[in-house]
């Protein structure tokens, strides 16, 4: 079978590899139908993802059809359309015992530490497969995985209806977070970005206020919009230089700051801005068994994942797709690779 492999940063190849076989642990074979291109995939391609190992078949936003099942598979059957959990964990370390396998001490993420779904077939445990809603296309179903990241983020923030929320960044991640934040009905939802078009879109999608951080002082404006107190929850979905400090400065006393970035570049913060307001600064990584939560929201029509995918490419044209994402064409929303039968 064919697969997309990043041999080393900047070196993407279509390779031939053996089709996987059923094992006791991996008791399901899934034929891939669609896989999203995520910012972390681009980071692996460019060598800026500190977690990745090479060479690597990437892809963790992965949808397909069950092709084979072993005798121990109970959750799915041949022909089921599924999305696959990207997290594999040891099950016995401190984090796993505390119910947080997404930060397992021996964490392996498909497409990052172990081979992912940019290939024609993948072998997984049936427990890692989740049935897709019948009315959701394979390409739109790719968006379930980014939405799990947003659900995890809001869980880490312990959002409540009396919160005021600031989301820094209105790209793909920030937009997914906004989609989930509004389900909590907070007092205000403020979105900050440097792109007016993205801010206009945020207002259409539920933001109560927006800040163009290229023209306005983000912390000062956030305080103005919250009667001088500052947002009680700030989520850094931009993850660029200066965004964490802005988040800390903007957030009000006793608030929570959620950081999602993976950059290893130094960034400026200081203890006073955290200690003086007794802020909780929390990381949010991947997702912690949130796939069924998102699927339930989709089935209940509380979350609409249609219309987010702007472009599709055959997976054998992955280089063309990655180059297109790198072009930063303003029409890009979500790019998905597709797999023929």
- Domain extents in the chain: 2-143+305-338, 148-283
H-helix segments, the chain: 39-46, 94-97, 138-141, 144-157, 172-181, 196-204, 218-225, 243-250, 271-275, 291-299, 318-326
pLDDT bucket at 69, cuts 50 / 70 / 90: very high
Q: How many CA atoms lie within 13 A of 265 on its CB side?
A: 11
pLDDT for res 332? 86
Output the CA torsion sign for 80, 83, 86, 89.
Answer: negative
Q: Kindly give the interhelix angle for 39-46 and 318-326, rounded to the nearest 10 degrees.
A: 100
Render pLDDT for 218-265 as a digit per residue (tens, 0 to 9). 999 999 999 999 999 999 999 888 999 999 999 999 999 999 987 778
What is the predicted pLDDT for the residue at 48? 87
- The confidence score (pLDDT) of residue 203 equals 98
How many Å is the Cα radius of gyration of the chain?
20
**How much of the chain, in percent, has pLDDT values that exceed 70?**
100
User: What gap in Å lies between CA 22 and CA 315, rounded to an integer?
Assistant: 24
Average pLDDT over residues 308-330: 95
| C-alpha closest to that of 115 among 6, 273, 226, 203 | 6
Q: 211: pLDDT confidence band, cut at 50, 70 and 90?
A: very high
2-143+305-338 and 148-283, same CATH topology: no
| Residues with Cβ within 8 Å of residue 98, at least 6 apart in sequence | none
Domain 2-143+305-338 class? alpha beta
Render pLDDT for 133-192 as a digit per residue (tens, 0 to 9).
999 999 999 999 999 999 999 999 999 999 999 999 998 899 999 999 999 999 999 999
Give me the mean pLDDT over the 25-29 stretch: 96
Question: E strands, 1-79, where?
Answer: 2-8, 11-16, 28-36, 56-57, 62-69
Compute the mean pLDDT over every residue in the chain, rounded to the nearest whole number: 96
Please tell me the pTM assigned to this model.
0.92
Q: Which pLDDT value is given to residue 261? A: 85
Return phi, psi of residue 244, to 5°: -70, -45
Q: Give the residue-averaged pLDDT of 43-50.
A: 91
Task: Mark residue 158 as left, alpha or beta (left: phi above 0; alpha: psi -120 to 50; beta: remaining).
Answer: left
Query: What pLDDT was estimated at residue 341?
Result: 67
pLDDT of res. 265: 82
- Burial class of residue 253 in the structure, from the number of CB atoms within 10 Å of its CB (0-12 exposed, 13-18 middle, 19+ buried): exposed
pLDDT at 179: 94
CATH class of the region 148-283:
alpha beta
Q: Residue 145 and residue 340: Cα distance in Å, rounded?
A: 21
What's the rounded mean pLDDT across residues 115-124?
A: 98
pLDDT value at residue 148: 97
Whole-number pLDDT of residue 49: 86
């Amino acid at each position: 079978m064919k697969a997309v492999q990043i041999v080393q940063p900047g070196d993407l190849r279509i390779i031939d590899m053996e089709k996987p076989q059923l094992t006791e642990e991996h008791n399901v074979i899934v034929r891939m139908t669609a896989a999203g291109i995520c910012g972390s995939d681009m980071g692996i391609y460019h060598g800026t993802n500190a977690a990745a190992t090479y060479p690597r078949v990437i892809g963790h936003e992965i949808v397909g059809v069950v092709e084979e099942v072993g005798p121990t598979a109970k959750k799915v059957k041949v022909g089921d359309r599924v999305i696959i959990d990207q997290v594999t964990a040891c099950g016995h370390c401190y984090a796993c015992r505390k119910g947080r396998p997404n930060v397992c001490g021996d964490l392996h993420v498909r497409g990052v530490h172990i081979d992912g779904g940019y290939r024609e077939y993948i072998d997984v445990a049936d427990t890692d497969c989740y049935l897709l809603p019948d009315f959701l296309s394979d390409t739109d179903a790719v968006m379930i995985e980014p939405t799990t990241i947003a659900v995890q983020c809001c869980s880490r923030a312990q959002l409540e209806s009396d919160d005021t929320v600031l989301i820094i960044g209105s790209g793909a991640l920030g937009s997914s977070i906004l989609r989930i934040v509004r389900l909590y009905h907070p007092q205000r939802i403020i979105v900050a970005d440097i792109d007016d078009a993205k801010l206009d879109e945020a207002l259409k999608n539920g933001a109560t206020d927006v800040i163009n951080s290229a023209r306005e002082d983000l912390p000062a404006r956030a305080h103005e919009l919250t009667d001088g107190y500052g947002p009680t929850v700030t989520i850094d979905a931009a993850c660029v230089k200066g965004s964490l400090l802005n988040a800390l400065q903007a957030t009000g006393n006793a608030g929570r700051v959620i950081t999602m970035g993976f950059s290893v570049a130094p960034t400026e913060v200081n203890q006073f801005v955290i200690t003086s307001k007794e802020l909780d600064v929390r990381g949010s990584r991947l997702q912690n068994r949130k796939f069924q939560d998102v699927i339930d929201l989709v089935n209940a029509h509380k979350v609409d994942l249609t219309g987010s995918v702007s472009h599709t490419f055959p997976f054998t044209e992955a280089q063309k797709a990655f180059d297109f994402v790198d072009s930063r064409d303003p029409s890009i929303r979500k790019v998905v690779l597709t797999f023929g039968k």
